[in-house]
């Protein structure tokens, strides 16, 4: 596994990569996350595939410019990264926010998406953890510098205890939440977080939903992975999505929370490899695409 950088549209984009297999797997992380969330699975996937895991703009080691942090912009950025590395299409795996990005990419650029894998994905229902709803409220940009102050971040035990009181699973969930919290140390990262969050969440919950367009995934091999004890986005969203996407597959990780790929990385790798090996990459048929659009979403 290597960490590399590339400049796209004048901005630094950091990404991890491994392997040189004929099939390309793109791993897209969640909000406040980075490609590090996939560190345990990338080396093993690299034995079978070519793996690309970017730090989205505003996250990790990538640039944090003032700009567009919408799902559409993120999807275009992932497409451009993959294309710049010489790949025409890939199986796109998205976790949480990354699931929304993956669905948007499959919708905007269906010819670029071989398969779709949604891991505890956003964009499939209104419900989301109260911490994220609160962070999206007006004025949060003025509170974040205080909440993420160095002295408070150094008091890790207090923050850890507070996060635990919100029902987050000990282990991977708290580890990832702490890592995300610590990533908001500088002003640019805080602003990128707020801009990103407000495009998808408001005080009432998730404001962007792909549920009215899931019928378009009828021709796209789709795998849905969810932690049974997810407290960030409820598993019911995954169950409903599986019912709405013909032929899709749902894998529930018992005892896992919002980060099933970290709770049980071995099983995650096995499930993903099995899915890729037993499905045929989607091929875009313009006539079929028009037919689906004209049919409209099922009632």
User: Residue 242 is part of a domain; what is its CATH number?
Assistant: 3.40.50.1820
171 phi and psi, to 5 degrees?
A: 100, -130
Q: Which of 96, 120, 248, 263 is catalytic?
A: 96
What's the CA gap between 183 and 58, in Å, rounded?
A: 10
Give the helix ranges, DSSP H, for the chain.
Answer: 42-45, 71-84, 97-108, 130-135, 140-147, 150-154, 156-165, 172-182, 187-200, 235-244, 260-263, 265-277, 286-295
pLDDT of amino acid 168: 59
pLDDT of amino acid 162: 57
Count the Cβ atoms, other than its own, within 10 Å of residue 136. 22
- 152 and 177 share one domain: yes
Q: Is 230 a catalytic site residue?
A: yes
- 228 and 161 share one domain: no
- 115 and 256 share one domain: yes
Q: Is 258 a catalytic site residue?
A: yes
Count the Cβ atoms, other than its own, within 10 Å of residue 146. 8
Query: Per the structure, how many domains does the chain have?
Result: 2
Of 202, 224, 247, which one is at a domain's C-terminal end? 202
Q: Which of 230, 248, 261, 264 is catalytic?
A: 230
pLDDT of amino acid 182: 81
Q: Is 96 a catalytic site residue?
A: yes
Phi-psi region of 149 (alpha: psi -120 to 50; beta: other; left: phi over 0): beta
- 22 and 83 share one domain: yes
For tokens 């299409």, the residue is 89
- 106 and 224 share one domain: yes
- 56 and 122 share one domain: yes
pLDDT of amino acid 52: 98
- 101 and 61 share one domain: yes
- 114 and 212 share one domain: yes
> Which residue from 270, 272, 38, 61 is spatially nearest to 172, judged by alpha carbons?
38
Of 202, 231, 249, which one is at a domain's C-terminal end? 202
Range of the domain at 288: 2-126+208-295
Q: What is the pTM of this model?
A: 0.92
**pLDDT of the chain along its 299 residues, tens only?**
899 999 999 999 999 999 999 999 999 999 999 999 999 999 999 999 999 999 999 999 999 999 999 999 999 999 999 999 999 999 999 999 999 999 999 999 999 999 999 999 999 999 999 888 888 888 877 677 656 655 445 555 555 555 555 555 557 887 888 788 788 888 899 999 999 999 999 999 999 999 999 988 888 999 999 999 999 999 999 999 999 998 999 999 999 999 999 999 999 999 999 999 999 999 988 888 888 888 876 54
- 61 and 15 share one domain: yes
CB 178 within 8 A of CB 159: yes
What's the CA gap between 89 and 211, in Å, rounded?
A: 24
- 153 and 107 share one domain: no
> Which residue from 212, 103, 111, 230 is spatially nearest to 166, judged by alpha carbons?
230
Of 153, 169, 202, which one is at a domain's C-terminal end? 202
pLDDT of amino acid 147: 62
- 191 and 284 share one domain: no
pLDDT of amino acid 68: 95
- 174 and 226 share one domain: no
Q: Which of 121, 258, 261, 263 is catalytic?
A: 258
pLDDT of amino acid 165: 58
């Amino acid at each position: 596994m290597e960490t590399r950088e590339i400049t796209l549209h004048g901005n630094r984009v950091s990404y991890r990569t491994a392997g040189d297999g004929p099939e390309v797997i793109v791993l897209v992380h969640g909000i406040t996350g980075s490609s590090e969330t996939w560190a345990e699975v990338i080396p093993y996937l690299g034995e079978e595939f070519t793996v690309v895991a970017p730090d989205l703009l505003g996250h990790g080691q990538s640039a944090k410019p003032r700009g567009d942090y919408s799902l559409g912009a993120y999807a275009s950025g992932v497409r451009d990264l993959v294309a710049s590395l010489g790949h025409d299409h890939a199986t796109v795996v998205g976790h949480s926010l990354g699931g929304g990005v993956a669905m948007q990419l499959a919708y905007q650029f269906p010819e670029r998406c071989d398969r779709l894998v949604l891991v505890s994905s956003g964009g499939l229902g209104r419900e989301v953890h109260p911490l994220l709803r609160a962070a999206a409220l007006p004025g949060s940009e003025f509170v974040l510098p205080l909440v993420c102050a160095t002295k408070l971040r150094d008091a890790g035990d207090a923050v850890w205890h507070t996060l635990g009181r919100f029902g987050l699973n000990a282990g991977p969930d708290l580890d990832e939440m702490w890592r995300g919290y610590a990533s908001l140390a500088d002003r640019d990262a805080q602003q990128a977080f707020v801009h990103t969050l407000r495009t998808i969440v408001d005080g009432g919950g998730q404001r962007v939903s792909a549920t009215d367009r899931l019928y378009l995934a009828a021709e796209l091999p789709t795998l849905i992975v969810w932690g049974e004890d997810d407290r960030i986005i409820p598993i019911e969203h995954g169950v409903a999505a599986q019912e709405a996407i013909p032929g899709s597959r749902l894998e529930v990780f018992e005892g896992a929370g919002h980060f099933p790929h970290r709770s049980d990385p071995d099983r995650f790798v096995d499930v993903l490899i099995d899915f890729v090996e037993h499905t045929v990459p989607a091929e875009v048929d313009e006539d079929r695409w028009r037919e689906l659009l004209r049919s409209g979403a099922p009632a």
